[in-house]
Chains A and B, each alone.
Chain A
Amino acid sequence: NAGVTQTPKFQVLKTGQSMTLQCAQDMNHNSMYWYRQDPGMGLRLIYYSASEGTTDKGEVPNGYNVSRLNKREFSLRLESAAPSQTSVYFCASSEALAGWIITDTQYFGPGTRLTVL
């Protein structure tokens, strides 16, 4: 039982390059999330997926796209990387289902450190 896994752990890109961050969970969770963490700003939600086949924007979605490939996997794509996207990216998952379940623990992956030059 690996929990939430992310690849790669580190990545350096040049401005304008594209890349996809991969995330997978083996806990049969319904909801998955992508956050970015920047110094002094805590974690901010980029996109989330409440169930397989659905995705929604979070607080800072600009410059990103996501795909909920199946129940296990949720990928984050940077189409044209910019220095402002230098950050640590975390994927998380929870059992939360569509509806009124409002208190549910999120489990986090180890993060991807991305630097855009």
Chain B
Amino acid sequence: SQELEQSPQSLIVQEGKNLTINCTSSKTLYGLYWYKQKYGEGLIFLMMLQKGGEEKSHEKITAKLDEKKQQSSLHITASQPSHAGIYLCGAEDAGGTSYGKLTFGQGTILTVHP
């Protein structure tokens, strides 16, 4: 089965700083999802990447999928306290009749100090 490794496991930054979270897969990624979770709440979908080299942005968050489709990065520009939470990457099981089953990384805890 596919394994996803996120780094770093936790991150503490000062408000206004940029930061990057990485997600590395042991296998080719067919669909890579980024979710955000606030403590005690469910997961909020951020964006999905599918094609090698693809890059998507929403407000101050940019996600990229590398050409080989085995690594994704999530970059936050000028971080704000509202960005704090747990960021999880999830990936489709490789092709076929996966029915949308996702394998998740262990998560990255982001703290943003005002």
Residues of chain A having any CB pair with chain B under 8 Å: 4, 31, 33, 35, 40-45, 48, 50, 56, 58-59, 90, 92, 94, 96, 98-111, 113
Contact = CB atoms under 8 A, between A and B. Distances in A.
Interface string B73-106: 0000000000000001010100111111111111
B90 A43 contact: yes
B33 A102 contact: no
Given A42-B104, A108-B43, A109-B42, 7 more contacts: A40-B9, A45-B101, A96-B99, A102-B95, A102-B96, A105-B45, A111-B41
8 contacts: A31-B99, A42-B105, A42-B106, A43-B102, A96-B98, A103-B30, A103-B48, A103-B92
Given A42-B106, A59-B1, A106 B97 contact: no
Contacts of A103: 30-31, 48, 50, 92
Interface of B: 1, 4, 6, 9, 30-31, 33, 35, 40-45, 48, 50, 88, 90, 92, 95-107
A59 B35 CA distance: 20
